[in-house]
Each structure stands twice: as structure tokens, then as C-alpha cells.
Amino acid sequence: MLLKTTAPIALVLLSQASVVWAEEVPPAPVDLSAAAPVTAAKPSNLPAAADSPVATTDNPTLQHAPAAIANTGDDFVIHAALTHPEQVRAAILSYRVTDEPAKDVMFQRSSADDYVAVIPEADLRGETLQYWITLQLVNGSKLAVYNSEQNPHTVQIIPSSTDLNERALLARVDGRRNVFAAMGEYVDFGHSQATDVTAAGSTQATARDWYYRVEASYTYRPLRLISEFSLRVGMVRGETPVPYAATDSSGNSLGILKDVGLNYAAPTVRFRLSDIVYADGTLLASVTEIGFSTGVGGALLLGDPYGTKLTLGFEVIQVFGRRFYARTDIAVHPCVRLSPIIEVSDMPHANVYGVRLLGEATVKVAPGMRVGLRGGYQARKFDSGGASFGALFAYEL
Amino acid sequence: MAPGKITSSTLLTATVVFSLTSGVHAQTREPSHPAATTEPTVSQPKAPAKEAALVTGWVIAMDGPDVVLDLGTTQGLHSGDVVEIWRPIKLKHPVTGKLITDRFRTGDLSLNQVRGNLSWARPVGTLERPVAIGDIVQCARASEVTSDSMTPKAAVPSRETSSVNAAAGAQAAPAAQAHPRKESPADADALQVAQLFESMQGRAPLDRAEQYEQFVRSRRTRFARTLLEEAALLRAQADGSEGAIAETGVVHQVTIPETVRPDRSLVIGLWMPGKHAGAVLQVRAETQPSYNPYPMKMTSPDYYEAEIPADMMKPPGIALLIERVEQDGKAYPLSGTASQPMHIVVRTEPDRKESAINHGMLRLVTDYADWNRGRGNDYAWQTEGDIGFRLQDKGIRAVRSGFGVYRGKGGTLAELDVLNVEPRSVGLTYGYLEGEFGFSTFASLIARATVGLGENGVTGGGQAFVRLGNDLNTNLMLGGEVLGGIGLRGIAQLELKQFEKVPITLRSEVTNQPVGTRADVQNPLTGYATFRDASDIGVRVIGQVGYKIVPSLTLALRGSYQGRTINHAGPGGGAAVIYTF
């Protein structure tokens, strides 16, 4: 029927008088009187639909390149060209993401293209997005110009690589983003010597060189650029011969100090630099047997962050000392990890550096629960050293 | 005049303008030889006897200073006429892989001699590019010719039609319309469109698209649809990524993503107005030679779509093309061709599964070397244990970390054999980290960093080897070692793996260990420090034979002989346990 009404109109428009007449007449009528609230422009599945009156008359049409994908991280923008906008009150893009009610956004003019509809980035969730386009005409009727709610167009949502990586890593850690851990170790360096030089001469003292450390930590795993952040609090107590620089009121040296210790809190942030390269940065605040001390630490992780990897790191704490370490975590079994550790350290507050050679074994005893033991040998003097042993526990939630 | 009042004269005018309209559509949808742009009037059955024409041809040869054109008096040209010269550009987009064509005006040519079918021409002034065979020429100042004389030229294009795509056609169409025929001056719509086209000559595609859209927005015109299609086409071509792909000249818009996820179906939508029987999406895996057809279902007028099933979406990707099916039932390329399809990368999703250690190894080795016939004044005893894993042949091949203890005594030959001085004791307790980097399956570099505690405190050292041959097969290692407080070693080691259960290692060393460094040694009795030189260089030969008790466990014994002279020498031995997992 539309075709029949259009032909004479076209002829009249082409007549000599048509130019003036065309300016005067109202927009060509659109036969939508019999239409349902939303009228499909043409039944689908029929190639002959190309002959549709809607496609060939002056009825408004909306032309766009149907989207195939939508990338997360950016708004999803659909560009379209609209004919006969004077007949259109609103061009509506309706969309639906997984199991959620449909939402509408309007096509609006843009400076770069004809019309754009913008789906907010926040709505790009799940695997797919479905959309369809309807025109609301000035006469109050609606015209489905592109698909319909019953037969929407499906767009694949492409997560960003960061999102994908987060999902993969989260699956890897069984969805457990929280880690509560505790550890304790006893470290024996044997005997060490220290020389205290005073006005009266030098005094050499020998003392046992040992300490223990207990530590508790909480870690949260965003698993994005910031892969993890954690807070450790701990305590170190021990003995080592330390020349004490302070003097008493008479100016006499206080001599060799033996009891050392550290109470500390240390936030750590782990950055994901690539799939196999991560970096840790740590700040530390503490009090020692002397007073307030600050510290920093850092580590470079190469390999699988939750499996086999190599860690090269350091930690420097005012007064208390420095340590540099290399740790190789080897997942010999999905539940068992062996870790040789090589450490050079002058902690706690020692005069000279020593070498620690440690081995650590952790076992996953239950989902999210891991226990471990460590042991080794360390020495600051070639002819004096001692053993170390410790245990750790971690629960992932 | 009242609406609906139609006279015979207005009908004639309508016919003319209909022809103009059809010409626009024809130019839009059918790529053609430039000559084919010589007016849509060729399709007019009742065109006026004479009308303006745009004559277009080619540069077909260079003859000395003259340019030879395939235009002549047949096309109504005369000596002295000036023609425009255009450089056609056809490029494959380096990112999207899509074909992009356009042309640029490089200047004018003046016709010196015009014959029936050929002309000599020379540049007018300086051209922006030297003339090249294949350049397009067209007469901007068209001559009047009869439509009859134009018909053969337009009907018999001399080049493949694909050489000028629809975008060029879209350019040509405005150019063609820039010379309005004798339409009725009363058809302001057609005249305005013609004027719009004329004003667009030489303008950039995006400018033209914007002007077309602005024209449609600013007034009511029956050419709105055509103009918008042109605009979309021009924008898409300028954009070069999404949107209309006009390689075939059929206006359409389709979005082909560059990258998608694996194992998920993908819906490809197509906007293709006009009378078509349908469209077919042809898809193949990048690794397959043939395409699977997916007929595109019409979902709305002018819109089609087809779904590529999830099982097709495998890395590295898919190749696809879209064919349009015309009313005659024949299929024609629309986007991409079978030989030059479009491509979609199916990316590999990140896999963060537990890293599997296929070649893990625990190793414990102890080795004793007596350098002086059991006298106990020149010997070394070294024990090492490590754990490591092997990844791949190329790149980081293996990583190992372990601990070791080195103890020994020694001195110079003179001290030990002539002066009978007490030997110096040396020792090192150390840990090490070792990595192997494979340049190829055949060659690799091994480096070890060592840190340890010696008699004088913390010290370090290292090893470096070049391995020729794969570590899993017979290979040769050449390298050396330096250990703080211990000395140097040059090492050549041949690992024979010709016998499956019996791995054999042959090794030779040139070394000044165990006392390979000079030192001032304090005499505990006298309290005086004595300068002590390093050991003299000696040579070791080691043979180690292993046996695989089970495939994952190898026990090995080694024997050696070493000496600094033929008299200052002695035997050695050791053992190794190797466990692989």
C-alpha cells in the first residue's frame, strides 16, 4: 500500500511545480495506522524484503554497520545515519546484557557522525550484549528498524587483556582473593664477635648470634596491574654483639649490646609488569632496640607468580640491617613446592654479613590451606655457624 | 500549481530527472572504467540530441616529451583542449587489509595533436607528479557530443572495472553530475544536487560526506537516501576500518572485528540496501583451504546477519568473505574475495594454570680430588646439591638453584714438595643460582652466580659455559669458573647420552684450585704474616658413569686423576645421585 501512495508523490515531486509544492506539503504520510505499538519494518527472512516499502519510500530509515564486538574499557558507541529525521521523535537503541532487563539509549547527533548511541562501559558485562533499534515517530507510533526484542542482534563483549588476565588468575587461585598467613623461624649464626673501641682501648666481645622472627600478614589480590597488596606485622628478638655508639652521662661507652629486636609493620604492593614479571615494593616502619627505624624493600619475580618462579629481592632497615636474597620456588607437584633460598644478611644489627642457605617446602593440605617448613644453615664466620628452622601457615579465602 | 496536476511537459521533465537519479545510483553501485563515467545519459532512451559530456580516458604511452592519451576526436576533443590528469591510487590498508582506492589530481595536460582515437598531450605548468602510464585523464571543459557518439565508449570499457572502485565511482558520479544536462530549470532539487556535486570536485572524501549529509539535513530532497549512502561510503573509505566496504561498488556496511575471543560464536551483521536476493558469509579457519558457507538471514529491511559457530572460532583465526546474491541467483564478492579474504584474529586467552614442571631435577654430587699422592697437603673436596627445572629448548631453558660446600688444602709445588710448608686450608660454603639460555635447540649458554662464606667472609664467584648440543642429548660444554678464595677452573665436559640407561660424562679441568688465590697467612706461633702464593696450575681428567635404576633415578660413580706435575698428582673419586621429576 505504501508503494502505491508513494509513486504519485514521486511524480509530483518531479514536476515543474513540485519544488514549491514539496516545500509546502507536510512530510509524506507513513501508513502505520494499522501498526502495533512497535511495527516491524518488514517481516524477516525474506530476501524480497529488499523491496520493502520502508526501504524504498520516504519513511525514515536508520542505517548503520551492525557491530560484531564491544570492547570493555570504553563506551560502546554505535554510529548511524537517519533519513527523514523530521518524522522521528526519537531513535532508540535498546540493549540487554545477560539476564538483566533491557535498557534504552537514544541516538543523538554527534559532531563527527550523523547519529550516535552510547552504551556506557559499565554495562559491558558478561559474554554478550544484544541490541535492537526502534524509531519513535512523531505520530506516536513505533517502527522497528533494526531487529527486535524477540530477535535482537548479538554482540560479543571483548574484555580487556587486564580483565581477561584477572579472570584467569582468579580462576587459578580458585577465586580466593584474601590470604592470611603466619610464619615463625629461628635463626642461629653460631657465635659472632664485635670490637668496641673506647678511649681506654678496644674491647672484643663474643656472643651468641641468633634471633627469632614471628610474622603475620594479610594479602589482598586485585590481580590487575596491582596484583597484590599486603600488610605484614612482625617481631624479631635475638642476640648479637653490637658495639653501642651511645655513651652514658659520664661519657663512657655503653659497650657491647647484645639484645636486639625489631617490631615492624610493612605494607607491600606487587605490580604485574607482564605475565611472567612482577615487582614488589615494600615500605617498613619499625622500632628497634635503639629507636624508630624505617626500611624499604623490593623484589623482582620472574615466572609464574603462584607457582614456579625466581625471586630476587632485598630489604634494608635502618639500624637493624640489610638482606639480599634469591629464592627459587619450584612446583614439583600441584600441591608441593620446594624453594631453595640464598640470602646474604647482616641482620639483626650484626657487624658483618653472613650467608644463609635455606630450603623451604610447602604443601597444600586443603583447598586454600598451605603449610610449610623451612630449614637451613647460616654463618657469618667460616668456622662458626648454625641451623635455622621455621614453619609457616597460609589460608586463602 | 496544485499538487497532483501533471502535464505532458512535466512528465518529460520527470523522465529526465529520473534518468539523472538513476545515473547517480548506477555510478554509486557499479565500478567502471573512467570512460564509463561519460554520462549516465547513455541509458536515456529519449535524451536530448546534444548535451554536455565528461570525457575520460587513460595515459597509455609516453612518446618523447609527449603523453599519449586514448582520447581523440571521436570523443569530441580538439587540439588545444586542456584535460585534467589524475593519479589513481589503490592500496591495501596495512592494518585492516582492506583495499582502498582513490585518485588525486596532479595537474593539466594540453592536447597538441588530436587524432581519431589518440592524442598527444603535454603538461601545462608543473605537475605534482610525473606523468605515468595508467594515469586517468578527463576533460574538465567538456565538449558537446551527441549521446549517440558517447554510447560505444561508455559501453565498451577498456580496462577491468575493478580498477576503479565504487569510491572512485562515487567521485566520478559527482563529477559527472557537475555537468548538468538540459534538465528543467524548474527542478530545483535536481539542480541543487547537481550544484552540490559540482562544488565537491577535488574535495576530500570526508568533506564530501559531510556536505552530502548537511545537504540532506538542511532540506527535503528525494536524493536523501542516495546522498546518505554516498556519505557513508565516503566516510567508510576515509576511515578505512569499519563501515562501508566498497570494493565491489555495492553500497553496504559491515563491521569485521580485528580480534575476538576463542570458542564463542560471532554474529556478523550487514547493511546492504537495494534489491538483492541475499548474502552469504563464507568462513574458513586460517589453517584450512576451503570455506564454509553461512547464508545471511535478513533480520530487517536491508539488514542481514549470520552467526559463525563457536567451534569455528579457534586460534589463530578465521578468514572470511561476504558474497551478495543478486536476483539472477548469482553470487558476487561483496567484502573480501576467496583469494583475498578478510581476517579475524582469534586470540589466545590467557592461561594461568599451574605451571607444569616437565623436567624437574634434584641432583647431589660429591667429588674428592687428591693432587699429591695421598699426602693430604693438596686436595679438594666439593659437595653440591641443587634443584632445578627445564622449560624449553629456546629461550630460558633451565633454572637451577643449590648449595655447596668446598673444602681443601694446598699450596705451591715449592711449598709442598720442597719446603714442606704446612698447606693452606681453604673453604667456601656457598649457594648458587644457575640459568641456561637456549639460543637454539643446539646451542645454549649457562651462567651461574655464586655467593658464599669463605675464610675471609662473604665472597662470590661464578661459572659460564657454552653448551653445544642439546642438554637432553649428547653435548659438549666449554667454560670456566671463578670462586672467591678458591681459584679458577677451565672446564671441558662431554656428556654422552648414547646409551639410554648409562649416561657417561667425561670432563677435563685446568685449575689452580683449591688454593688459587694469594694470601697473607698469619703464623699462629710467631704472629707474623707470611705471603703465600697460589697453587700451581694442574690438570684433572674425570670420568663418570651413571646407571638409571629407574627412569627417574640415576646413580653415578666417578673417578679422576689430576696432577700439577707428573709426580705431584693423585687419584680422585666421587658419586652422584640424580632424580628427575
pLDDT at B181 exceeding the cut of 60: no
What digits encode the pLDDT tens for the residues B212-228?
878 877 777 778 777 87
User: Is there a single domain that holds both residue B237 and residue B257?
Assistant: no
What digits encode the pLDDT tens for the residues B553-569?
999 999 999 999 999 99
Residue B72 and residue B113: Cα distance in Å, rounded?
A: 9
What digits encode the pLDDT tens for the residues A349-378?
888 899 999 999 999 999 999 999 999 999
User: Is there a single domain that holds both residue A195 and residue A325?
Assistant: yes
DSSP B292-317: EEEEEEEEETTEEEEEE-GGG--TTE
Contact criterion met (CB < 8 Å) for A21 and B1: yes
User: Is there a single domain that holds both residue A135 and residue A222?
Assistant: no
What digits encode the pLDDT tens for the residues B465-504?
999 999 999 999 999 999 998 999 999 999 999 998 999 9
pLDDT at B145 exceeding the cut of 50: no
**Interface pTM (ipTM) of the complex?**
0.73
In a domain, A168, yes or no: no
**Do B480 and B488 meet the contact criterion of CB atoms below 8 Å apart?**
yes
Last residue of a domain, one of B225, B243, B261: B243
To test the contact with chain B by mutation, choose from A5, A18, A25 the residue with the greatest count of B C-beta atoms within 10 A, namely A18
Which of B13, B216, B355 comes nearest A331 by C-beta? B355
Top pLDDT among B373 and A10 is at: B373
| Closest CA in chain A for residue B361 | A332
User: Is there a single domain that holds both residue A39 and residue A99?
Assistant: yes
Task: Give the B window 136-155 contacts with A, CB below 8 Å.
Answer: none
How many CB atoms lie under 10 A from the CB of residue A382?
Answer: 18
DSSP conformation class of A121 = G
User: Is there a single domain that holds both residue B326 and residue B411?
Assistant: no
Q: Does A385 touch chain B (CB under 8 A)?
A: yes
Contact criterion met (CB < 8 Å) for B355 and A44: no
* pLDDT of A58: 72
User: Is there a single domain that holds both residue B215 and residue B331?
Assistant: no
| Closest CA in chain A for residue B400 | A328
pLDDT at A35 exceeding the cut of 70: no
Contact criterion met (CB < 8 Å) for B217 and A85: yes
In a domain, A347, yes or no: yes
Contact criterion met (CB < 8 Å) for A326 and B399: no
Which of B267, B297, B387 comes nearest A154 by C-beta? B267
Give the pLDDT mean for A210-226: 96
Cα of A252 to nearest chain B Cα, Å = 31
Rounded mean pLDDT of chain A? 83
Contact criterion met (CB < 8 Å) for A23 and B352: no
* pLDDT of A251: 65
Residues in chain B within 8 Å Cβ distance of A44? 297-300
User: Is there a single domain that holds both residue A47 and residue A177?
Assistant: no
Q: Which residues of B517-544 are buried (b: 16+ CB within 10 A; e: fewer)?
A: bebebeeeeeeeeeebebbbebebebeb
Contact criterion met (CB < 8 Å) for A382 and B350: no
Rounded mean pLDDT of chain B? 78
Query: How many separate domains does chain A show?
Result: 2
Residues in chain B within 8 Å Cβ distance of A25? 3
Last residue of a domain, one of B285, B313, B346: B346
Please report, for the domain that includes residue A353, its CATH number.
2.40.160.60
pLDDT band at B19 (very low <50, low <70, confident <90, very high): very low
Residue B433 and residue B388: Cα distance in Å, rounded?
A: 10
The residue segments making up the domain with residue A290 are: 173-396
User: Is there a single domain that holds both residue A139 and residue A180?
Assistant: no
Picking from A128, A162, A144, the residue whose alpha carbon sits closest to that of residue A94 is: A144
Which of A64, A168, A352 comes nearest B352 by C-beta? A168
Which of A86, A334, A379 comes nearest B453 by C-beta? A379
Cα of B71 to nearest chain A Cα, Å = 36
User: Is there a single domain that holds both residue B329 and residue B466?
Assistant: no
Please report, for the domain that includes residue B333, its CATH number.
2.60.40.10
In a domain, B311, yes or no: yes
* pLDDT of B356: 62
Please report, for the domain that includes residue B48, its CATH number.
2.40.10.410
Residues in chain B within 8 Å Cβ distance of A162? none
Task: Give the B window 443-462 contacts with A, CB below 8 Å.
Answer: 451-458
Contact criterion met (CB < 8 Å) for B1 and A67: no
User: Is there a single domain that holds both residue B230 and residue B266?
Assistant: no
Please report, for the domain that includes residue B379, its CATH number.
2.40.160.40
DSSP conformation class of B415 = I
User: Is there a single domain that holds both residue A125 and residue A188?
Assistant: no
Give the pLDDT mean for B143-154: 35
Picking from A318, A373, A312, A367, the residue whose alpha carbon sits closest to that of residue A344 is: A312
User: Is there a single domain that holds both residue A85 and residue A112?
Assistant: yes
What digits encode the pLDDT tens for the residues B78-126?
888 888 888 888 776 766 666 677 888 888 888 888 888 888 888 888 8
Of all residues in chain B, what percent carry a pLDDT higher than 70? 77
The residue segments making up the domain with residue B418 are: 359-580
pLDDT band at B6 (very low <50, low <70, confident <90, very high): very low
Query: How many separate domains does chain B show?
Result: 3
User: Is there a single domain that holds both residue A137 and residue A66?
Assistant: yes
Contact criterion met (CB < 8 Å) for B349 and A168: yes
Q: Does B555 touch chain A (CB under 8 A)?
A: no
Residue B234 and residue B376: Cα distance in Å, rounded?
A: 92
What digits encode the pLDDT tens for the residues B253-275?
898 999 999 999 999 999 998 88
* pLDDT of A225: 94
User: Is there a single domain that holds both residue B338 and residue B416?
Assistant: no
Last residue of a domain, one of B208, B243, B278: B243
Which of B4, B228, B261 comes nearest A63 by C-beta? B228
